[in-house]
Structure 1
Amino acid sequence: MQHFSSDNGDGTYRNPVLHADWSDPDAIRVGADHYMTASSFHRVPGLPILHSRDLVNWTIIGHALARLEPEADFRTPQRGGGVWAPALRHHAGRFWIVYPDPDRGLFVTSAEDPGPDGGRELVWTRPHLLKGGKGLIDPCPLWDDDGTAYLVHGWAKSRAGINNRLTVHRMNADATALLDGGTVAIDGDVLPGYRTLEGPKFYKRDGWYWIFAPAGGVADGWQSAFRSRSPFGPYEGRIVLAQGGTDVNGPHQGAWTTTEDGADWFLHFQDKGPYGRVVHLQPMRWDEDGWPEIGDKGTPVAMHAKPSGDGPVCAPDTADDFATGIGPQWSWQANPEPEWADVDAGLRLACVPGDGDLRHAPNLLGQRLPAERFAAYTELRLEGGPGARAGLAVVGDTFAWIGLERNEDGADLVLRVFDGDKEAELAREPAGDAAHLGVDVDAGGACRFLTGATPRRVGPVFTATEGRWVGATLGLFASTSDSQGSALFGAVRVAEGRSGDYEC
């Protein structure tokens, strides 16, 4: 069983609509269908594509990047690098994603359709470098009414040495080249109280050019909107969404979109530590002066009437029986090798040589923590000689795992924790070749690891931590120190709530 929808079933929804790390969301509507993409950083495949009919109930339909380039660089996890905040648009009958790699530049990929359809795997174009350079982030295109195209982007101080400013370029119509050197359209350094102005999204409405952009930082920032009669400015701006008296810290960086009936909505993230950047949905209206008003007079709503749309109650997949392959909820920490995984009456992972540091293990197969409280279970059989190990892990800047480890006398069930400085073995007991494994995650990322067909707790509570710009990962792995082997995982069962609330 799994149930992660925020649909209350009575015509209302609750926030967040996605309590998982769909960071820096951007969304559009094409006909009756809404599509979303998000930052994927070092995860492979990258650029997830989600679909909804009502902005509340979402499913994963695929990814725009099968692998990250350059191939050689992404054979090992590039934590904190990879794919940062993308922009998704529909123009001239195609879907377009412009995304940044902060160490390489701004890239474009496009497709006629956003994901698999009727069993046919649809292909996004190979990424094209639109603008090279370090520290270029958060690009967003705009195709004007007369066919003229523009691109806005921000800057990362960690790579470029500058930030807090937004640059606008002219762009050719097919998004293959920029046509000028760029103009600083909005300089946050001259705006009182502004810092870390970034994440721009470009729009046009009633003759006004709009740049929606967050500022103030991931955990404590706010959302601003800027308007001008020219894409290059000058722009006037206002803060249009902030925490106020709510418990939603840093509500910002997202997408303005509309439903078929013309209603306006805004999707944004909230940083929740080990859960990553979870996604909220806010109603949006325009005041008498033509400025957007988001949420409840500029503060986030906890619950609201649903947008129009006829979609079913659903949520991104989390559980997986691997009957038809590895589901789209899973990703690797680097470009995978074909021998790492096979679907064979479950999921078979090859034991890949490694030093035991799961933060840097390219073959960790993981997914986002799907809810504030949930439990996940699987069964494991370990095959291989001494040094082979495999298990179920929660990985951020720290990590913990429960699983099997082979030694000269057989296999033991072990629980190991890395606290950021050193690894400690917190439990070990004889187990044989197979074991039931589980983890029960409570509010704040409190993890209780479990074993047994009737789950029992093993070891103390481990508190999950975020990774490098991402939330913690629920992962499966198989590795070895000095021998070959493999690990066969059964179906992964995931359900909302705690393990004591239901049977698995």
Structure 2
Amino acid sequence: MDKFVTSVKNGMYQNPVLPMDFSDPDAVRVGDDYYLISSSFTYLPGVPVLHSRDLVHWERIGNCVEHLPFDRYAEPAHGCGTWAPALRYHAGKFYAFIPLPDEGIFYTTATNPAGPWSELHCVKSASGWIDPCPLWDDDGSVYMAHAYAKSRCGIKHRIQVSKLDPETLEVIDDGPVVFDGTLTQPTAEGPKMYKRNGWYYIFIPAGGVEFGWQTVLRSRNVFGPYEDRIVMHQGSADINGPHQGAWVDDPQGNDWFLHFQDRFELGRVVHLQPMCWHNDWPFIGLEQNGDGIGEPVNEWDCPAGEAVDGLAVSDTFPGGVPGLQWQWQANPQPEKWLRTGADGLHLTCGSDKTIWRMPNLLSQMLPAADFTAEVRLSLADAGAGAKVGVAIEGHTYSAIELCREADGCTLRVLRGDVKETVQRGQVVPVSGALSEAEEVVLIEKTVDTNEITVTIKVTDAKQVQYGFVTPAGEAADLGGAQPITRATWTGARLGVYARGGAAADAAKVANFEVKF
């Protein structure tokens, strides 16, 4: 199977509808079509754009951001980059508001959500302003709700509403803090603004990513005061931390809520919940334990609409170009990192960095908790010292790589551990943007070939087993199973890379096939 398709049984969809790391989702409907974007941090092109006709089946159609206009993103900046964005459609144009927690709030526009998207325009230069969402009001005024990142500015739990210039969309008045959740709604963040029946609504997650809940604020005045109500929590359900997402309606007049669930090494996967309104308050999910608060459902009747093809995960790299599912670990330099070739992906060698610090690591989200993959690796066009491999990257990561030696080739499995380091007198934690990793070789095997098919088996025990296909066509394991862990603000990543040797060397990755 080269694409992931959401499971539907007897007319009912199964959650999660997107079991991949589409973190901090926001979505809109335009006509009969739905569009969703998500954060992507240091992985670029970023802020992926997905399309659906029924809210259940999705396909990836583009990215809002091709590169970030700051020099630091020439290298991996783990945990930085594009955080929780907002997507809106206004006056025939799509707007994506995107925060960079160290640089400020930006927006980009497109008439076609598949792109091209404009260069980033600055809304507000600020450190610690995050999670922006605009609202075009009935009188032509434009407002933006946002939260704060304590790690950047020392502020947390607060939602602020600012006034924007209707023409430039730049902040003209920082505005008031309209909600402080310190005592009752800790870690209030991720605001999404709406207006309905004369009420201003701000949907906010609270309680933290792993075990929080969904809160809604409402007021008759955009600047408050706001009432607050918890409208969905885990309760007795088995879905932890159901919050942060998007309210959308369908052409039939039904309401829905797309939100994430933190699955740790898998990242933040996306669920779809039924939603309705009572006395001008939203109710999300299903009442199951008598407390008057909605709980997330595992399945529900499919919304009306046609199914799209699904999300690509496998890749034959037609024309030597990676598919939309792939992202570099820093600002892309395809002219430097890729060679022309029609029979696979031709990667430039020469880098001597660890996998964690390679800007030219090409990776995608883990497609599921349990899957296998086969990949053809080749060093036919590379000299001594060159390596090509496949990795499962996280704070503890591993890889299988084919290595060119002076007298032949070896196949080896390695492990990397991201470490707390001291740089220029400052402690850089494991989750820091400039964190470093140490790699060790676990097992090495001489192979009588410069081209080999390697295998990867990921299990829901949070482990990966590496292996290879012998000349007789049999599968053989190489070493024992290795642990899978999350990365900084993301789930683990499935990546391919080339390194070592000379810059004139090229490695090839071909027939990247994922099976569920």
Matched with 2:15 is: 15
Matched with 1:113 is: 112
Q: Using the alignment, how far apart are the partners of 1:343 and 1:474 within structure 2? A: 23
- Please state how far the C-alpha of 1:485 moved relative to its aligned partner: 1.7
- Please state how far the C-alpha of 1:108 moved relative to its aligned partner: 0.8
Task: Give unmatched runs, 5+ long, in structure 2.
Answer: 288-293, 420-437
CA deviation digits over 1:4-43, x for unaligned, max 9? 3223153110000011000000000000000000001011
Contact 2:88 2:95 in 1 (8 A): yes
- Please state how far the C-alpha of 1:353 moved relative to its aligned partner: 1.5
Q: Paired residue for 2:505, among 473, 481, 485?
A: 485
Matched with 2:162 is: 169
Q: Paired residue for 1:153, among 146, 153, 157?
A: 146
- Please state how far the C-alpha of 1:490 moved relative to its aligned partner: 1.0
Matched with 1:455 is: 475
Q: Paired residue for 1:415, among 404, 413, 416?
A: 413
- 1:365 equivalenced with 2:362 (yes/no): yes
Q: Using the alignment, how far apart are the partners of 2:417 and 2:74 within structure 1? A: 25
CA deviation digits over 1:427-483, x for unaligned, max 9? 211122111112111114311112104322211111211111011110000001667
Contact 1:40 1:84 in 2 (8 A): yes
TM-score (norm 1): 0.93
Q: Paired residue for 1:323, among 291, 294, 318?
A: 318
- Please state how far the C-alpha of 1:379 moved relative to its aligned partner: 0.4
- 1:179 equivalenced with 2:146 (yes/no): no
| Stretches (4+) displaced over 4 A | 481-484
Matched with 1:139 is: 132
Contact 2:399 2:413 in 1 (8 A): yes
TM-score (norm 2): 0.91
Q: Paired residue for 2:226, among 228, 235, 257?
A: 235
Q: Paired residue for 2:303, among 301, 307, 311?
A: 307
SS of aligned partner of 2:73:
helix
Q: Using the alignment, how far apart are the partners of 1:400 and 1:40 within structure 2? A: 22
Q: Using the alignment, how far apart are the partners of 1:41 and 1:442 within structure 2? A: 26
One-letter amino acid matched to 2:89: H
* Number of residue equivalences: 484
CA deviation digits over 1:196-232, x for unaligned, max 9? 1100000011110000000111111111011000111
- 1:40 equivalenced with 2:40 (yes/no): yes
- 1:126 equivalenced with 2:119 (yes/no): yes
CA deviation digits over 1:132-174, x for unaligned, max 9? 1100100000011222211000000000111110000111224
Q: Using the alignment, how far apart are the partners of 1:27 and 1:211 within structure 2? A: 15
Q: Paired residue for 1:206, among 191, 197, 213?
A: 197
Matched with 1:499 is: none
1:70-85 alignment to 2 at 5 Å?
70=70, 72-85=71-84
- Please state how far the C-alpha of 1:179 moved relative to its aligned partner: 2.3
Among the aligned pairs, what percent are the same residue? 44
Q: Paired residue for 1:291, among 281, 306, 324?
A: 281
- 1:433 equivalenced with 2:429 (yes/no): no
One-letter amino acid matched to 1:139: P
One-letter amino acid matched to 1:58: W
SS of aligned partner of 2:323:
coil
- Please state how far the C-alpha of 1:175 moved relative to its aligned partner: 4.8
- Please state how far the C-alpha of 1:307 moved relative to its aligned partner: 1.1
Q: Using the alignment, how far apart are the partners of 2:106 and 2:224 within structure 1? A: 25
Contact 1:323 1:343 in 2 (8 A): no
Q: Using the alignment, how far apart are the partners of 1:364 and 1:445 within structure 2? A: 22
Q: 1:109 to 1:392 in 2, by over 3 A?
A: same
Q: Using the alignment, how far apart are the partners of 1:79 and 1:481 within structure 2? A: 26
Matched with 1:119 is: none
Q: Using the alignment, how far apart are the partners of 1:433 and 1:485 within structure 2? A: 13
